[in-house]
Structure 1
Amino acid sequence: MTTKWMYYLGLVLVAAIWGANFGVQRLAMDTFDPMLFNFLRFGLAAPLFFVLLKITEGSVGIPWKVALKLALIGLFGVTLLEMTVMYSIKYTTLANASLLSIAPWPIFAALFAPLFFKEKFSARLAVGAAAAMAGVSLIIVGGGQGMSLSSDNMVGNLIALSTGIIGGIYNVACMPLMKQYSALRVSTWVIMFGSLFMIPMTIGSWGKVDWAQLTAGHYTAIAYNALFCTFIAFSVWNTCMLKIGATRSNFFRYVVPASAMVVGFAFFRESISGWQLAGTLCMAAGLVWISTESSKRVPAPELTTAR
């Protein structure tokens, strides 16, 4: 029981780190093109993954057939996913982008899970998921910006919805490979391929940055994204997801907007409404309900070490 709660705590902490990153990225976007900043984030984290993988497992290699699968996952789960996040924010409101991407994400993961592996979706999980989704919806819609149904936002709304679809597929697609190889090995190669696919999209952005005028704050933002939001967060999230299950784990992404709300209040003087507080309590209750479901202990999968 104690070990299980450590994995749930890991999911919550990672989601909180990702939520806090909304504030960091908001400041960084004043200086960096969004795709360039994402490349710096993932590109700088990739070598750290390889170093840790070599130290902990003694090798970093993977078979060519597996490399092709991980390259495809990296293309969709890192490169394309980050693009949809960026353009959804550009073409619709922040509330719409958050609600239409984050809220459906776990639902899509649950729907696509049977295509990759068998994972039980219990009645208790359904109840907790409904409460958590209702809570996160209140957090997002209850903000000052609110939900907009304007036709001007239709393109951005569709892009935001595609974020949830791509993210859900990405998470469940990783699971079969993480049952054969370690979560660290899978994460390492997915991040590496995702970074490589970003390079063509950064052409023309490098020259727009006045590198000589960058401050300690800029370098701190880059380091926070590379070290905490990518290297540590992906390693912890994938390890916990392997133990808890993709369907159940993805509902803990609902902590992201709650964390972003707290950061907005603390650093950007954004107000917090009563609806948002109620939504936070509702979401927390749903996640606690999901976490306390008893489950049979599943033996750890045998991992393959590729050389």
Structure 2
Amino acid sequence: MDKKWIYYAGLILVSAIWGANFGVSRSAMETFDPILFSFLRFGLAVPFFFLILKLREGSIGIPFRLALQLALVGLVGITGLEIAVMYSIKYTSLANASLLNVAPWPIFAALFAPLFVKEKFTRRLGVGGAAAIVGVTFIILGGAEGLDLSSTHMVGNLLAFGVSVVGALYNLACMPMMKRYSSLRISTWMILFGSLFMFPLTLGSWSKVDWGELGASHYTAIAYNVLIATLFSFVVWNASMFKVGASRANFFRYVVPAAAVVAGFFFFDEGISSWQIVGAVCMAGGLVWISKERRAQAVVEA
């Protein structure tokens, strides 16, 4: 029996977790500085990553050359990307940030894939991807904010668009390394380096938090981010992406805004429009069409 559906299910689950994390994190931002909260998310996850790596694989070390590569990937993909996401949301509307961040990402992953891996861009991927793009556009623009391309949002718009370009390159850069080492080992060291680079940027934020007044909701938000949105999600996403190919996997990021809309409905009483429902159906159809590919056309270069 073909087990590939397990990896597609993993991609969908992780995207739903990241989408729901929008609601969880937005509540936490009322107490924590965005960069400090990002550091807590990744920094507190590091010991868990190393513990699991030691238990599962018996060792935690990596060669010096790989350490240099992962330090660069961690700097760009964890430190830089997370900060860019935060400030893109700050300087533009949520609809703009979501559309310009999420929608182009899989396209750039497919375009840049030949630089890192050998992946065949099939007609099924093109048709399914187009349907998913239309669907996610309806989901984002069908909300109350809509799209605003005014000059006041230009900085945020450029940051959000840059996230989609850099994010695609960051995903693809991990693929050749996962040919030689497990996704768990790659994720562990990448997040360690990303956290180390992020720490100096938090030094002015720790004193702004009244740590003695934190309640159960704050600790729940931190635990969700550390254990679910980071530890579980990064391992599952990287392992699944390696199995199905980066081009296909990144189209499943379109589940993120759909899950964010659902989270907004349950956590913040935000409405769901008919256009968003149509978009969800269209997106789901596109992703199902992609996942029906008989076999993944992905071979990582040695």
TM-score (normalised: structure 1) = 0.96
Q: CA deviation at 1:301?
A: 10
Would the aligned equivalents of 1:93 and 1:148 in 2 still touch at CA under 8 Å? yes
User: Partner letter of residue 102 of structure 2?
Assistant: I
Q: CA deviation at 1:219?
A: 0.5
- The 2-side partners of 1:140 and 1:253 are apart by 13
Aligned counterpart, 1:305: none
Q: Please list the CA deviations of residues 244-281 of structure 1 after superposition, one character each: whole Å capped at 9, or x if unmatched.
A: 11110000000000000001111111011110000000
Aligned counterpart, 2:100: 100
Q: Tell me whether 1:276 sits opposite 2:255 in the alignment.
A: no
**Aligned counterparts, 1:237-252, within 5 A:** 237-252=237-252
Q: CA deviation at 1:298?
A: 7.6
Q: Which SS does the other structure have where 2:118 is aligned?
A: coil
Aligned counterpart, 2:205: 205
Q: CA deviation at 1:296?
A: 6.1
Aligned counterpart, 2:287: 287
- The 2-side partners of 1:50 and 1:43 are apart by 12
**Aligned counterparts, 1:1-307, within 5 A:** 1-295=1-295
Q: CA deviation at 1:5?
A: 0.6
CA RMSD of aligned residues (A): 1.5
Would the aligned equivalents of 1:36 and 1:202 in 2 still touch at CA under 8 Å? yes
Shifted more, 17-26 versus 108-117: the winner is 108-117
Q: CA deviation at 1:38?
A: 0.3
Q: CA deviation at 1:297?
A: 8.4
Would the aligned equivalents of 1:53 and 1:185 in 2 still touch at CA under 8 Å? yes
When residues 20 and 124 of structure 1 are mapped into structure 2, their CA distance, relative to the original with a 3 A threshold, is same
Q: Which SS does the other structure have where 2:3 is aligned?
A: helix
Q: CA deviation at 1:151?
A: 1.0
Q: CA deviation at 1:300?
A: 10
- The 2-side partners of 1:214 and 1:170 are apart by 35
TM-score (normalised: structure 2) = 0.98
Would the aligned equivalents of 1:142 and 1:276 in 2 still touch at CA under 8 Å? yes
When residues 121 and 34 of structure 1 are mapped into structure 2, their CA distance, relative to the original with a 3 A threshold, is same
Q: CA deviation at 1:168?
A: 0.3
Q: Please list the CA deviations of residues 46-95 of structure 1 after superposition, one character each: whole Å capped at 9, or x if unmatched.
A: 11110111011110000111100000000000000001100000000000
Q: Which SS does the other structure have where 1:179 is aligned?
A: helix
Would the aligned equivalents of 1:180 and 1:301 in 2 still touch at CA under 8 Å? no
Counting aligned pairs with the same residue, the percent is: 65
When residues 267 and 162 of structure 1 are mapped into structure 2, their CA distance, relative to the original with a 3 A threshold, is same
When residues 299 and 250 of structure 1 are mapped into structure 2, their CA distance, relative to the original with a 3 A threshold, is closer
Q: Please list the CA deviations of residues 109-165 of structure 1 after superposition, one character each: whole Å capped at 9, or x if unmatched.
A: 111111112111111100100000110000000100000011111111000001101
- The 2-side partners of 1:218 and 1:61 are apart by 34
Q: CA deviation at 1:284?
A: 0.2
Would the aligned equivalents of 1:91 and 1:156 in 2 still touch at CA under 8 Å? yes
Q: CA deviation at 1:294?
A: 0.9
Q: CA deviation at 1:225?
A: 0.1
- The 2-side partners of 1:298 and 1:249 are apart by 11
User: Partner letter of residue 253 of structure 1?
Assistant: R
Q: Which SS does the other structure have where 2:62 is aligned?
A: coil
Gaps of 5+ in 1: 303-307
Would the aligned equivalents of 1:109 and 1:246 in 2 still touch at CA under 8 Å? yes
